Structure 1
Amino acid sequence: MFITVRYGANCQEIVNLQCCILNLTAHLKRKCQCKPEDCIDLLDETGTLMNLSKVENPATEFASKYLRERKHYILIRVIREESSEATCYESLLEDLGKHYPDLTGRLQQLSAKTQGRDQRRRAQPCSSIPARHKTTSQSKRSSELKDTPK
């Protein structure tokens, strides 16, 4: 039982589904040179998010329970805003629109859907830069805007 995961500059990795989700995601992070603390997930070719990043016990749950053998998946980065429920999804397959034209819009829809649920903050377009990489001046500017009376 195996799947094909696409990432990077049209790279592919064949992985065995007979392993726990924790091992699968750790292996994929190493292959695509993600940071160990990055949160990743998979998107199938129809645009369905597999939600591996939300599995309660990834150390004991087998990947075969969530993924279908011999299918192709796209590796994505999940960027969760610390102060809200908003989540952005970023493709780790370069030129996603070239390979899967419909999936670029699907990732934007998924990001907008989680931002719409967040009632505490105004919805902002999802950027491909994670919040933890913002500069001090960007963070300061952002906090000044929040404190400004309307």
Structure 2
Amino acid sequence: MFATVRFGANRQQLVNLLCCVQSLTGHLKSKCQCRPEDCIDLVDEKGTLMNLSKVENPASEYASKYLQGRQCYILIRVVREENSEAICYESLLEDLGKHYPDLPDQLQQLSGKTQRTEQRQKGSLQRDQPDTSTRTRSRTTLQSKKNLELKKTRK
């Protein structure tokens, strides 16, 4: 079971899928000259993220569980922003749009989805925890106005 991985200046690497995910990603990092601490993943030609970077036990799970033989994949870098859950996906294949015209937009959409998810989570947390100090102030103001009106009408 083999697959092709594209990266760099239109380079291709034939990879054996009957190995653990950790071995596959380590091999690809060395071939594309990534740093060992870099997080990489693959997308297929349609732009579907393979999520190798999220495999819970990459040392024992086979790559063939996540990838299909005889397919072509594009190597990407997964960049997690500090102090945030936002993720950005960067192609490691130069001139990606030249080879796959739709993929740059799809990578951007994938990156945007993770940012929107984070914003939604933060927004829902803020909505779940109402600002009681503002509500208290507005109630107090309304009560004060009503009391003033009552005093005026009594006079």
Q: Which residue of 2 aligns with 1:92?
A: 92
Alignment pair present for 1:70 and 2:60: no
Distance in 1, Cα, partners of 2:87 & 2:116? 10
Q: What is the distance in 1 between the residues matched to 2:81 and 2:13?
A: 29
Counterpart in the other structure of 2:39: 39
Higher helix fraction (1 or 2): 2
Q: TM-score, normalised by structure 1?
A: 0.79
Percent identity between matched residues is: 74
Q: Which moved more, 1:30-39 or 1:111-120?
A: 111-120
Measure the CA separation in 2 of the matches of 1:47 and 1:6: 13
The Cα of 1:44 is off from its aligned counterpart by: 0.1
- Point out the structure with max Rg over C-alpha: 2
Residue 101 of structure 1 aligns to a residue whose secondary structure is coil
What's the offset of the Cα at 1:82?
Answer: 2.2
List runs of 5+ in structure 1 lacking aligned partners.
122-150
Runs ≥4 residues deviating over 6 A: none
Q: Provide the TM-score with structure 2 as the length reference.
A: 0.77
- The within-5 A match list for 1:1-150 is 1-119=1-119, 120=122
Structure 2 gaps of 5+ residues are 124-155
Q: How many Å apart are 1:117 and its aligned residue?
A: 1.3
Aligned CA RMSD, in angstroms, stands at 1.0
